[in-house]
Structure 1
Amino acid sequence: MNEKMLQELVEMISIRDFNKPFRHRARFNNRLQTTGGRYLLGSHDIELNPKYYVERGEEELIGIIKHELCHYHLHIEGKGYKHRDRDFRELMKKVDAPRFCKPLDSVTKRRVMTQYLYECSACHQRYVRKRKVDTSRYVCGKCKGKLKEIKQ
């Protein structure tokens, strides 16, 4: 799907589900990592994560577009457009837009695989961490011995 097709899809969903036109720009943003899309308050544009279209398909992308259009139309009308606002929650229910998008498989696999294993050189206590530990600053919590990273 290219930018022109995306723009047409967003305009079509806006008319079909909201009965209001979308008069701004919709585009893909490859830099989005943890979110399916975002509505830009200043320019009123919508940016979408292309990885969701590639991994999850058009149905998931349509759900994300509906969610962002809820922000868009409520903000334009001067109503509560934030996630916690009643207007936002009611409009989301009305158009059947998802509150959250499912996490991408590529992101969850990357998170699960990244683990660091450390061992105390004195008492051999082992520590599994998601983030890298600075072994020159931190010591074993059990005996205050020096930690060393174990390659897995």
Structure 2
Amino acid sequence: MTNEQLLQLVKTVSLQDFEKPFPDNARFNGRLRTTGGRYIPKERTIEINPKYLEEIGMDEVIGIIKHELCHYHLHVEGKGYQHRDPEFKELLRKTNSPRFCRPLPSMKKNDTLRYQCISCGHIYSRKRQVNTRRYGCGKCKGRLKKV
């Protein structure tokens, strides 16, 4: 999908779900890492993360577009367009737009380290490495070993 096709999709979604035109710009931004999209008020531009289209699909992208259009239309009308504003929450509910996007499958980390107490056998799962010389079991004060 190109930026022009994305712009046409945003215009279509805006007319269908919001019954308002979208005369401004929308584009893909591959540098977005932690979000599906963003609205830039100064430029009146919507940016979408292309990885969501590749990994999850069109339905998720349309949800992201609807969310960003909520920001856009409220900003243009001079109303509260930030996540904390009640007008924004109400428009999300009316248009059946998602509040958050799902995490990308490629960003999910399943790297958990497992440690076991030598004395009582209790198992600890941690995302970060633990210094077993310095830290011990919280239940019996025994030594830990990496499993």
1:83 is matched with 83
Give, as a single letter, the amino acid of the residue that structure 2 aligns with 1:55: E
With structure 2 as the length reference, what TM-score do the two structures score?
0.78
The number of residue pairs the alignment matches comes to 147
When the two chains are superposed, the root-mean-square deviation of aligned CA atoms in Å is 2.6
Quote how far apart the aligned CAs of 1:115 are. Answer: 0.8
Structure 1, unpaired ranges of 5+: none
1:40 is matched with 40
Q: Which structure shows the higher helix fraction?
A: 1
Give, as a single letter, the amino acid of the residue that structure 1 aligns with 2:24: H
Q: 1:119 aligns with which of 101, 110, 116?
A: 116
| Correspondence 1:68 to 2:68 | yes
Which segments of structure 1 move beyond 6 Å, counting only runs of 4 or more?
none
Q: 1:130 aligns with which of 112, 127, 130?
A: 127
Moved more, 62-71 or 3-12: 3-12
With structure 1 as the length reference, what TM-score do the two structures score?
0.76
Identical aligned residues as a percent: 56
What SS does the corresponding residue of 1:75 show, helix, strand or coil? helix
What SS does the corresponding residue of 1:119 show, helix, strand or coil? strand
Quote how far apart the aligned CAs of 1:65 are. Answer: 0.3
Q: Distance in 1 between matches of 2:145 and 2:31?
A: 35
